[in-house]
Amino acid sequence: MPGSSKKLEAWITVLAAFVAIVVLPVLNGLVPAGSALHVSDFAINLYGKYLSYAILAISVDILWGYTGLLSLTQALFFSLGGYMMGMHLMRMIGDLGQYHKPIPDFLVFLGWDYLPPFWRPFSSFPFALLMSFLLPGGLALVFGYLGFRSRIRGVYFSILTQALTYAASLLFFRNSLLMGGNNGFTDFKFLLGFDLRRASTQRGLYIATAVVLLLVYLGCRWLSRTKFGLVQQAIRDGENRVLFSGYAAAHYKLFMFVLAAVIAAIGGILYVPQVGGINPSEMATDKSLEAVVWVAVGGRGTLIGPIVGAIGVNALKSWATEAFPDLWLIILGTLFILVVLFLPGGVVSIPSRLAPVWRRWRGRTPGPEGGGKSDPAKAGAAAAPQPVTDPP
């Protein structure tokens, strides 16, 4: 049974990846706009956003689901990656801004007439990309070192990471940081010479996001099956036993924390050019908690779960904020309470929860020889009131 479910999972992965990477872009680019099968540019852009959120969700999950660290700072790393890439994109606007000056508009607005020194190297794409990894990774390294060294764990770790995120968002709201203040960065024009306002560029970014998501997924899947990954999960289940078995748990946790920061930053790098802006509200503590919601809803401790959760909850959000703008927060809050209380394994655990019911139903119904006569609806109705005391 486990073998077949593994095979099934592999097939689903391949199919989903094929649909996301090949089918959707083809339907967007090659099928004419009038056709029923056409996927609009808006939709592709929206899916691209969901997929970069899915990368963020994976980064939350490898910490929370696999290492037992509930980090409320992943949205900060996500936005830091985004901000570094955003700085490059701001430089690429050139003098096409409102003020037609060679420096970003908000700097002109703040009274600058030359580029602040720390902005200069961001004209180079490789440097910006490097910084997108180095800054979140470096911050995670320093904070993680301090935190894990003094054995801060459990809820204290969550509270401290929340404080870090809060402090950082306060900092980025300030104009004097010269990172755009409240409004952040917006109005991007070019990336690597491609015009960001064109549908083909957005399609390319979408495909890139889908491919990166697949790679991140496969990479994390591989890591979780190595010996390293097993120690990781052992830390989640019983940190003291791991410690007393002679493993330096703090080093393992630190590595995972930095890795998760970098993965979140990758999500941010892909997010910014597709959404067309970034501002400090993206790094507020609420966003980190929201990312944790995606993982919880999808299913923590699995790698499919975060992806399902990120896409599902965001799709629900897009729909609900339009249909019931006043009730959206109530829907999200209720969904969250219900999932935590009644579905700790998330949406992906539904099949395995239903499996015993399914098996019992199969056991009740006559074999294939008499199957023709049985009415599935009737059989289902008969199975439902059955007492749960049956051993599976």
Partner 1 sequence: MKPRLSAVVLLLLSWGACALHAAPDAGEAAVRRTLARAILAEGAEQQSLLGEVSESGSKLAHDVLAAWTRDGVYLYHPTASSSVPVLLEDQLDAQGKARAVRIDDGHIVTDARGGELRFDPNTLDTADTDMRLRSTIQQALDALTLADPDPDARRAAVVKLGNSQKLKYIAILEARRPREPVADVRKAIDESIALLELGETDPQVKIQAIHRLTQLKSMGSLDRLKAMADNPATQPLVAQAAAAALLELQRHIERVNFFGTIFRGASLGSVLLVVALGLAITFGLMGIINMAHGEMIAVGAYTCYVVQNLFGSGFRFAITLPFSFFGRQVGFGLNLPGLNAGGWFYQSYFLFAIPLSFVAGALAGLALERTVIRFLYRRPLESLLATWGVSLFMQQCFRMVFGANNVQVDSPSWLLGHFSIDDVSFGYNRVFVIGFAIVIVLGTWLLLTRTPLGLLIRSVMQNRDMAACMGVRTDRVNMFTFAFGSGLAGLAGAFLSQIGNVGPSLGQNYIVDSFMVVVVGGVGSIVGTVCASLGIGTVDQVLQQLLESPVVGKITVLVAIIFFLQWKPGGLFTTKSRSLD
Name the residues that contact partner 1, by CB under 8 A. 70, 143, 146-147, 149-152, 154-156, 158-160, 162-164, 166-167, 170-171, 173-174, 239-240, 285, 289, 292-293, 296, 323-330, 332-337, 340-341, 344
Q: What is the rounded CA–CA span in Å between residue 206 and residue 23? A: 12
Contact 151, 253 (CB under 8 A): no
Instruction: Work out how close the CB of 285 gets to partner 1 at its nearest, in angstroms, rounded to a whole number.
Output: 7
- Residues forming a β-bridge with 191: 194
For residue 346, what is the enclosing H or E element? none
Which of 6/149 has CB closer to partner 1?
Answer: 149
Instruction: Work out how close the CB of 11 gets to partner 1 at its nearest, in angstroms, rounded to a whole number.
Output: 32
Which of 50/173 has CB closer to partner 1?
Answer: 173
Q: Which two tokens stand for residue 38?
A: 């056409």
Report the C-alpha dihedral over residues 319, 323, 326, 328, rounded to 10 degrees: -20
- In this structure, the strands spanning 277-278 and 185-186 are antiparallel
For 124, phi then psi, to 5°, come to -95, 130
Q: What is the rounded CA–CA span in Å between residue 26 and residue 227? A: 40
Instruction: Work out how close the CB of 260 gets to partner 1 at its nearest, in angstroms, rounded to a whole number.
Output: 16
Q: What is the rounded CA–CA span in Å between residue 74 and residue 262? A: 10
Which of 98/150 has CB closer to partner 1?
Answer: 150
Instruction: Work out how close the CB of 56 gets to partner 1 at its nearest, in angstroms, rounded to a whole number.
Output: 16
Instruction: Work out how close the CB of 287 gets to partner 1 at its nearest, in angstroms, rounded to a whole number.
Output: 12
Which of 108/160 has CB closer to partner 1?
Answer: 160
Instruction: Work out how close the CB of 309 gets to partner 1 at its nearest, in angstroms, rounded to a whole number.
Output: 12
Q: Which two tokens stand for residue 278?
A: 């970034």
Residue with tokens 């490097």: 130
Helix (H/G/I), strand (E/B), else coil: 278: strand
Residue with tokens 């794409």: 125
Instruction: Work out how close the CB of 228 gets to partner 1 at its nearest, in angstroms, rounded to a whole number.
Output: 23
Which of 20/139 has CB closer to partner 1?
Answer: 139
214 CA to centre of own chain: 12
Which of 202/314 has CB closer to partner 1?
Answer: 314
Instruction: Work out how close the CB of 381 gets to partner 1 at its nearest, in angstroms, rounded to a whole number.
Output: 28
Which of 39/292 has CB closer to partner 1?
Answer: 292
Across the chain, the runs of DSSP E, i.e. the strands, are 185-186, 190-191, 194-195, 277-278
Which of 164/210 has CB closer to partner 1?
Answer: 164
- Residues forming a β-bridge with 190: 195
- Residues forming a β-bridge with 186: 277
